[in-house]
Structure 1
Amino acid sequence: MSYTPVVPVGGYAGWKFLSRTRAAQATAFTGSPSVQREESYFRTKIGSVRTANELVSDRRLLSVALRAFGLEGDIENKAFIRKVLSDGTLDPKALAHRLADKRYLELSKAFGFGDFSTPRTQLSDFADKILAAYETRSFEAAVGERNGDMRLALNAQRELATLAGKSTSADTKWFAIMGSPPLRKVFETAFGLPSRFAAIDIDQQLTVFKDRAQRFLGTSDPAALADPQKVEDLVRLFLLRSESTSSATSTGTGATALALLQPATGSSARLLQSLAK
């Protein structure tokens, strides 16, 4: 039987409770028999896997691999995942480079099937690294079954700490945020951006994201998110806006008000103009 994380309330109050109890809850979750069985199977079998096809052919191994990168929803897309893994990452034309969601690039890079004659599955510490990510993502997923916003918040807290520390430009970091569906959702919600915002020109999106970040977080540089307090401010804003939107849309009056606050139709230029107000 698996341990079920406790999230007694939603919104920011629920987040504060989860933050206080997270370490103890994560330990209980990863120590549960179901998680331990999957980890044991992965440790036993992964060293014998040398090709993308061998990994994709073993559903239990593939399930752990995909969950470690937050891609468990692709468990049935075997041909697609096989192609991502087989292409590798060294060739700029590889499939993983052409996908906006860079989690696929990280997956392919981690296994190295298309990059080296000997894949990374043969390294002595490979299982430890993948399973550490698997445990983290699995706990987040379990929390998400109780409250989806909490899963997004946990993901943002983890991913932004890593992204902020990378030696890339601010714009490159923003493009990485825009290319990650979970991170994009957090920022779009926190900044009050409409769902069709993603349809406008990518450079215009960048301008709006930087403007909103400066307005709400006091900085337009994602490197500043190395500061845990900045991330906490973002998460707080995300949860409060999400809760407010959910409450508003649960009533006819709220839904009408929300519709009036957003452009009904029009071009990308009109949408961008409305966002600049």
Structure 2
Amino acid sequence: MSFQPVVPIGGYAGWRFLERTMERQQEVFNQSTVMQRDLDYFAEKIGDVRTAEDLVGDYRLLKVALGAFGLQDDIGNKFFIRKILSEGTTADDALANKLADKSYFKLAEAFGFGELGLPNTRDEGFADTIAEAYRTRSFEIAVGEQNDDMRLALNLERELAPLAEGSSSGDAKWFSVMGSEPMRAVFDTAFGLPDSFAALDLDKQLEVYRDKAEAIFGDSELDQFADPEKREELVKLFLIRSEISSGFAGYSPAQTALTLLGG
């Protein structure tokens, strides 16, 4: 049986444990025979792939490709994935550009099937880049099987910093959060927003996100989360609120307030 990540407790204390042990846990997890076999196959075969049809037609290659972008649940949606890949990202009307979930855009962009010239599958280091992303995502999924809040926190750590540091406009960055189900789950929980919030008009959601960020963190811009300390504050608030909402330890209102203030 392959190694399963150890998350002995939930909440912020569990997160701190995972942070301290993650490097070693990932190292052991990556030694899985099944994973290494899949990645060896990918490295050997991906250079021969020229079209979206080639990739979608090979289950083992597609498994790694989708898994690297957190899209492993789409392994059976071959027509949809083929369309995403074959249309690429250059054309404004390409399907990847229309979807709120930008994971599909990143998949299509990485492989480059719909662009001029040859795809990226033969580029030096391509297989290694996809393999590293696959290992990271696979570890997050395995952690999620122990505690899904920890998976969401890991995803946030990986996705939020490059988004915050990017050159997009302030509003575009918040819209990217809205389009990412895992990041949105963290922000909505940390900000104390109800499930029905996602049904509001997008411009209204943007206004609320900015107001909440300003009230809690002192800044309405997503750029602030380029700072590791700010990201840690966000993760801490998310995990505490999530634990409280689950009825952990029978928190009273006073205990809730003290927990949020002092952690």
Provide the C-alpha distance between the structure 1 equivalents of 2:140 and 2:116, rounded to a whole number of angstroms. 32
Q: Deviations over 1:106-158 (max 9, x none)?
A: 10000000113310001121101111111111111111111111000000011
Q: CA deviation at 1:215?
A: 1.4
TM-score (norm 1): 0.88
Q: Check if 1:9 corresponds to 2:48.
A: no
Aligned position for 1:156: 156
Q: Check if 1:33 corresponds to 2:33.
A: yes
Aligned position for 2:194: 194
Runs of 5+ unmatched residues, structure 1: 258-277
The range that moved more, 112-121 or 200-209, is: 112-121
Q: CA deviation at 1:165?
A: 1.2
Provide the C-alpha distance between the structure 2 equivalents of 1:75 and 1:244, rounded to a whole number of angstroms. 35
The range that moved more, 10-19 or 115-124, is: 115-124
Q: CA deviation at 1:201?
A: 0.7
- What do you get for the CA RMSD once the two structures are aligned? 1.6
Aligned position for 1:46: 46
Q: CA deviation at 1:196?
A: 1.1
Q: Map 1:72-87; keep pairs closer than 5 Å.
A: 72-87=72-87
Provide the C-alpha distance between the structure 1 equivalents of 2:194 and 2:131, rounded to a whole number of angstroms. 36
Local SS of the residue matching 2:91: coil
Provide the C-alpha distance between the structure 1 equivalents of 2:116 and 2:8, rounded to a whole number of angstroms. 47
Aligned position for 1:69: 69
Aligned position for 2:108: 108
Provide the C-alpha distance between the structure 2 equivalents of 1:32 and 1:185, rounded to a whole number of angstroms. 30
Provide the C-alpha distance between the structure 2 equivalents of 1:64 and 1:217, rounded to a whole number of angstroms. 38
Aligned position for 1:236: 236
Provide the C-alpha distance between the structure 2 equivalents of 1:53 and 1:12, rounded to a whole number of angstroms. 44
Which one-letter code corresponds to 1:181 in the other structure?
E
Q: Check if 1:22 corresponds to 2:22.
A: yes
Q: Deviations over 1:192-238 (max 9, x none)?
A: 10101111110000000011111122221111111111001110111
Which one-letter code corresponds to 1:176 in the other structure?
S
Provide the C-alpha distance between the structure 2 equivalents of 1:175 and 1:67, rounded to a whole number of angstroms. 24
Aligned position for 1:271: none
Which one-letter code corresponds to 2:48 in the other structure?
S
Provide the C-alpha distance between the structure 1 equivalents of 2:245 and 2:13, rounded to a whole number of angstroms. 16
Runs of 5+ unmatched residues, structure 2: 254-263
- Runs of 4+ in structure 1 deviating by more than 4 angstroms, as ranges, are none
Which one-letter code corresponds to 2:66 in the other structure?
L
Aligned position for 1:98: 98
Local SS of the residue matching 1:4: coil
Which one-letter code corresponds to 1:175 in the other structure?
F
Local SS of the residue matching 1:24: helix
Aligned position for 1:272: none
TM-score (norm 2): 0.93
Aligned position for 2:259: none
Q: Check if 1:165 corresponds to 2:165.
A: yes
